Amino acid sequence: MNITVIGTGYVGLVTGACFAEMGNHVCCVDVDLQKVDRLRDGIIPIHEPGIEELVKTNQEEGRLSFTSSLAEGMADSSVYFIGVGTPPGEDGSADLQYVLQVAREIGQNLKDYGVIVDKSTVPVGTADRVREAVQAELDARGVDIDFDVVSNPEFLKEGAAVNDFMRPDRIVVGSDSARARELMHELYAPFNRNHERTIFMGVRDAEMTKYAANAMLATKISFMNEISNLCDRLDVDVEKVRVGIGSDSRIGYSFIYPGCGYGGSCFPKDVRALINMADACDFEPSVLKAVHARNEAQKHLLFEKIVCRFGADLSGLSFGLWGLAFKPDTDDMRDAPSIVLLEALIGAGANVKAYDPVAMDAAREFLPSSWFDTGRLSLAQHQYAALDQVDAMALVTEWKPFRHPDFDAMKRMMKQPVIFDGRNIYDMKTLKDSGFEYVGIGRRLN
């Protein structure tokens, strides 16, 4: 099948490469000429395990191509995936300008029946707006061409997106058209060989499903973070509580790890967008607002614990920071808890040495240049170099190389053996035996 994918970010590039891997001919379209040229040269704009090999292989086999012209990209295709960004507005609503711009351009170039697929995370009712935008362009051209708009939300985890696409838990397709459903079923047939994973539903149902899924996962995280704060005050080890409740099959162990808050391009944005949708319907989303508020507060928790230990004025103190990306296996720093901690530490007068296995370049682009110019923030070349003569270490991202470090070497390098563990990855007995002072989330060792 010939497929067009518009947008080459996390969603678009993974979608295009994975469909190509299954034997389809895919043309990915992006308005960024430089990005298109780099992709043609095999330079991948995102850090995502497995994606570089997929892109390279499928380009060499002639199944995957890149262009900046949507007209060119649509020439031989009848399925058009919209995978452009939907950044949050100031009120938390999803900005649909790029989605609708693509829809209008599709309407300007559509020649035969086609299925337009909303792959981006979009609010309920977006398919209706896409349909109206396409139809308006067809009317302006004076042509009568049939088309369908389908909602096919992605459920990809950054850092595991390729695996999630190739081995999906479910494939949600929202459409009221039998013709479109048949085409989508054929397209996804290779992903259903083991058992049927495709779930068909109404368009608006599918749009809501994506938001509800992310909001539910965010709720589990914020709930456990709230419990961890209560554990702090009641002298309870939240890790023991986590294991205890996770053993209940109705709850499970996923997404109940306490920490310093969630970030990234999905959970924060989607929870805020869902709140905005509720407000627009004159409905009070009490739980969703609490989830968001708890997460915003949680991002400040590590700094609050540092202040409790060192005082509010951190002038003259130096801190080592392990982890900048919002989660392991990605360089994405959008809404990352590390940013909140850095702002607070530098604002209180501290100097920071930071290290992340893959997000160093992203940090240089994402963080204020003044932090680097004034020497308040430096990026270390190695995780242990970030601990040289620091007064304490704060762990924000649970990368694998951070999980079992050389504590003896750390203690020799640091001025004071103090660890603030924002992800509760360390064994407290091991740290006690190594002579460390340890502060975690909902657990403490003095």
Residues that are catalytic:
266
Q: Rounded distance, CA 192 to CA 96, Å?
A: 31
Q: Rounded distance, CA 152 to CA 150, Å?
A: 6
Q: Which tokens is 316 given?
A: 């003259």
Residue 304 neighbours by CB under 8 Å, 6+ apart: none
Q: Residue 321: helix, strand or coil by DSSP? A: strand
Count of other CB atoms within 10 angstroms of residue 211: 21
Q: Rounded distance, CA 370 to CA 377, Å?
A: 9
Q: Rounded distance, CA 405 to CA 428, Å?
A: 14
DSSP class of residue 88? B
DSSP class of residue 299? T
Residue 73 neighbours by CB under 8 Å, 6+ apart: 4, 6, 27, 28, 29, 67
Pair 324, 397: CB distance under 8 Å = yes
Q: Where are the alpha helices (DSSP H) in 383-435?
A: 407-413, 428-433
